[in-house]
Amino acid sequence: MTRGEVYWADLAPRSGSEQRGRRPVIVVSRDAFNQARGWQSLLVVPLSTASAQAARGPTTVPLAPGSAGLRRPCYAVCHQVTTLDRAKLGPRVGALSRESLARLDAGLRVALDLD
């Protein structure tokens, strides 16, 4: 498992406006954590197919169909980065291109105020 890979995940239970249910997520934690024995937690960014996400600004990164194995247009919701146990991950969907990963990183920097 490496940073930038996309997996199906079960994001239940959640509350309020948090992304929930079965949906793709992008692994964003560093590979040293992702590949460490006994390390069960991952940092992920959930994906949404709701076109309303596009209006949320630079913390929402559009991903075209076909990119990273996605069948539909999706939005990486960087302002909802979350910790997830590996047990909640399902099948691998694909992996982001370098360009898409760079756009995702830019969205995360804005969401986390790292610039």
Q: Which helix (H) or strand (E) holds 114?
A: none
In this prediction, residue 20 carries a pLDDT of 53
In this prediction, residue 78 carries a pLDDT of 96
Distance between CA atoms of residues 67 and 58, nearest Å: 19
Report percent pLDDT > 90 for the chain: 76
Domains of the chain: 5-111 (2.30.30.110)
DSSP state letters, 27-77:
E-S-HHHHTSTT--EEEEEEEE--GGGGGG-TTEEEE-TTGGG-SS-EEEE
In this prediction, residue 115 carries a pLDDT of 77
Give 4-45 pLDDT, tens digit per residue: 999 999 887 555 455 556 889 999 999 999 999 888 999 999
Distance between CA atoms of residues 56 and 67, nearest Å: 21
Q: Is the pLDDT of residue 108 over 90?
A: yes
Question: Which residues are bridge partners to 7 per DSSP?
Answer: 25, 92
This prediction has a pTM of 0.91
Give 69-106 pLDDT, tens digit per residue: 999 999 999 999 999 999 999 999 999 999 999 999 99
How many of the other CB atoms lie within 10 Å of CB of 53? 19
